[in-house]
A and B are shown apart, each in its own frame.
Chain A
Amino acid sequence: MTLTISPLPHAKSRESVKSVMWGTVAALIPISLAAIYLFGFPAVKIILATVIAAVVSEIIIYKAASHPITIGDGNAVLIGLLLALLMPPGVSEHIWVPIIGAAFAIAVAKYIFGGTGTLVFHPALIGFAFLLAAWPTLMGAASTPNLGSFSDLLIETGAGRLVEASPALVLLGGAFVLYKKYVDRRVALSATVLLILLILISGKGWQLPYILTGGYFLGLIFLAADPITTPVTKRGRLVYGTVLALLILIQLHFGAYFTGMCFAVLMMNVFSPFIDKNTIPKPIGGD
C-alpha cells in the first residue's frame, strides 16, 4: 500500500479566491439590476463596457508581461463592476470614459502594484479617482440623493449614480458578503457605526440622510472593507475603520459627499501597512 504523506491540514475549506471574488460579484447583481431598472439602457451599456474593458485589459497586460492569466478568479470582473456602479448614468454617452477608467484601474492599481494581494489602493477607486481628475464634469452626478422618505430606501429616484439606485439592495448584497466574510467585518461595522454616531453627536444630524445611500453603503462595505487593502491585524482593522469614519466626517463637513467618501477610503489605503506594523499582536500562552 502506498500512502501519501503531506503536511497538515488534510482538509481544506471550500472557499477559494474564486468563490470570494465571484461571490462578491453575485452580491452586486441585485443592485446592478436595480440600476438597470432605474436608468435603463445607459446602465447596461456602462456595466458591460467597464466589465469587458477590465477583463480585456487584464488579458492584454498579463499576456504582454507573460504572467499567468487569472481572469477566471473573477477579480477583474469585480473591479469592472464596482467601477461601473460608481458612474453617473450620463457617461454612457461618452462610453470610452468608463472604458479608460477600467483599463487604468487594472493597469495601474492592479498590475503595477503587483496584482491581487500586494496592491495598495482599491483599483476601482483608483479608476474612479483618475476619471474624476481627467473629466470632472462627466463624473459629477446629476443629483445627490438624499433619503427623504422610506420608499427611497428601495428605489431612490434621486439617484445620481448607478449604485445609488437602491440602498436596500446594496445592503442586501452587503449583508451577504459580511456574512460570508468576503469583506472585513471589523472595518465595515466599525466605520459604519462610528460614522453614524459621529454625525449624530456632532449635531449634524441633517447630514444623516446623505449617507444612508447606496453610494455610502457600497463604499463602507464593499470598497473600504475590501480585504485586500485593509490591515490584517485584528486591532489594526478597528483602527482603520475608526480613522476612516473620522476622515469621512471631515469630508462631509466640507460638503464632499460621495467623492469625499471615496477619497477618504483611498487615503486610508495608504495607511494600511503602517497600521499593521504598529498593531502586531502578541501571541498567547506557550511554555
Chain B
Amino acid sequence: MKIATMKTPDQVIIPLEQHAGAVCNPVVSVGDIVSVGQLIGDGKSMIHSSVSGEVTAISELPHPAGKNVLSVVIKTHDGEKKEFKPGDFSTYKMSRIIRDSGIVEPNGLPTVYKKADINTIIINGTNTWDLSSNEALMLDHPSEIVDGLRALIKSVGAKKATIIIELDSEALQVMRTETIPDSNIKIIATPTYYPPGTESTLAKKFANKKVPRGSTPDDRGVLVSSISAMKALYDALCDGMPMIKKVVTVAGAVRSPKNVLVEIGAPIKDVIEACGGCTGTPVKLIMNGAVSGAAQYTDEVPVIKTTTGILVQTESDINREPPSPCINCAWCVDECPIGLLPHLLYGYADSAQFDKCAELYIGDCVECGMCAYVCPSKLPIVQIIRYGKHGVAAMEAEMEVEA
C-alpha cells in the first residue's frame, strides 16, 4: 500500500468555504452530535463531517488561503463510531450526486457543475514536483478509479476518456492493465513537465481543443477532472460516502515523507506528526507544492478538499537570492500556461501603470508561479502581479464611481 492511514485527529476544523467564493451555510449548531458523513454545510457544494463527535464551535478560523473563514470545529468522540448508513444515489443524476457528495476538483470547483455536451473526458493523473498523491491513488485503487470514470463517462454521455500519466510513473502500467477492457478509455503517457497546466491547457494539449479566452473546456465538449475526484465518485456511488477524506502527500523536511489518507479538517500539525514530525526547524509550511502552493502562518490550518500536499521547508530550502533587473530573456513567456507576458505585467505593475496591466490581461493570471520559478533574475513576479491585480481592481472601481 502506498497510502498510509492516519489516526483520526482529536479535533477537526472544517472550513465552510472550501474554495474561494463558495461559502456554505452551517446546518449544525454548537453542541450537536454529528456522525461521519453527516451534512454540516449546505450551499453551492456540500460539506460533510469527516468524523463522529460533537460540534464544539462554529467560528472564524485560519484557512489555508491565508484568511479567516467560518469553520465548524468538531471534537472527535473516542471509540464511539456511529454506524454510517450509505445514501442511495442510484437514481440521482450525476451532477446531483456530485453536489450532494461534495465532490470537488483540486481547483475547488465541482466536477460537473453546468450543462454541457461532453465529448471527451480528460483525467489528470500527473503529479507536480514532490507531490505524488495521484500516483499513490492509482497504485492503491486502480479499479475504483476506473469504475468512477466509467460511471462518469456513461452519465455525461462522453465518447472517450483519457487518463494522463507521467512516462516514468509506476502507475502507468497498472492503469493500462486496468483499462484493457475499455476501448473508450485511453492512457496517455507524457514526459514529466510542469505546470500540468490549467484545465484549458490540458484540453488543448490532450484533446486538441483550443479553449478561447473567456470560455471553459466544457464549452468545447471537454471535461477535465482528476484522479481524486474519480475515487471520490466511486466512494459516493458504491458506498454512499461523501468526500470527507483526501490523500495528501507530505514532503520535504519530515522524518518519513509519504502519502497519507487524511480526514478533511485535520490540522496540518497532526498530519506532519503522523509522518514522524519535522526534521530540523521548519521555516515554511506550504500547502500544495513548492511552486504554486501557499505558505501558511500557522500549523493549525486544516486540510481541505483542495489540499493535495503539505511541504515542509527549512532555511536551506529557501532561496533568498536578491533579484536583479529583468534581462528580457522571455523564459517567463515560454512557461506561462495561459499565454501571458509576465515580464511586462511585472514591469507595468511595478511602476503602477495599471491600465497597461489590464490591457495585457493581468486578470487572467492563475498565479501558478511558473514565471517566477524560471526567472533567472529571481524577480518576485507573482507578488507584483498580485499587486497589479489590486491596482486594476481599484482603478476599475474608481472609473465606475466616475461613470
Chain A interface residues (CB < 8 Å from chain B):
1, 3-13, 15-17, 19-20, 70, 73, 115-118, 181, 184, 227-234, 237, 280-287
Contact = CB atoms under 8 A, between A and B. Distances in A.
A16 B215 contact: no
Contacts of A16: 321, 376-378
A228 B378 CA distance: 16
A283 B325 contact: no
Given A3-B282, A3-B285, A232 B330 contact: yes
Given A4-B295, A10-B293, A284 B339 contact: yes
B351 to A, nearest CB: 13
Contact of B295 (A5, A232, A286): A5
Chain B at the A interface: SS class: loop
Contact of A17 (B203, B282, B324, B380): B324
B158 interface: no
Interface of A is mostly: loop
Contacts of B216: 285-287
A121 to B, nearest CB: 13
A8 B372 CA distance: 8
Contact of B327 (A3, A17, A286): A17
A227 B367 CA distance: 25
B23 interface: no
B124 to A, nearest CB: 15
Interface in B53-70: 66
A3 B296 contact: yes
B383 A7 contact: yes
Nearest to B252: A10
Contacts of B382: 7-9
B330 A227 contact: yes
Nearest to B330: A232
Nearest to A232: B330
Nearest to A282: B213
Contact of B364 (A70, A227, A283): A283
Pairs A-B, 9 closest by C-beta atoms:
A285-B200, A9-B369, A11-B290, A227-B329, A7-B383, A232-B330, A8-B369, A283-B364, A9-B291
Contact of B293 (A5, A8, A73): A8
13 contacts: A3-B295, A3-B297, A5-B296, A6-B383, A16-B321, A70-B324, A228-B327, A237-B330, A280-B360, A282-B339, A283-B213, A284-B339, A285-B216
Contacts of A15: 374, 376
B211 A9 contact: no
B213 A286 contact: yes
A234 B333 contact: yes
A1 B338 CA distance: 37
Contacts of A287: 214, 216
A235 to B, nearest CB: 10
B331 interface: yes
Contacts of B89: none
A23 to B, nearest CB: 10
Given A7-B295, A284-B213, A285-B338, 19 more contacts: A1-B282, A3-B285, A8-B293, A9-B291, A10-B318, A11-B373, A13-B374, A19-B376, A73-B324, A117-B377, A232-B333, A233-B333, A234-B334, A282-B213, A282-B361, A285-B212, A285-B216, A285-B364, A286-B216
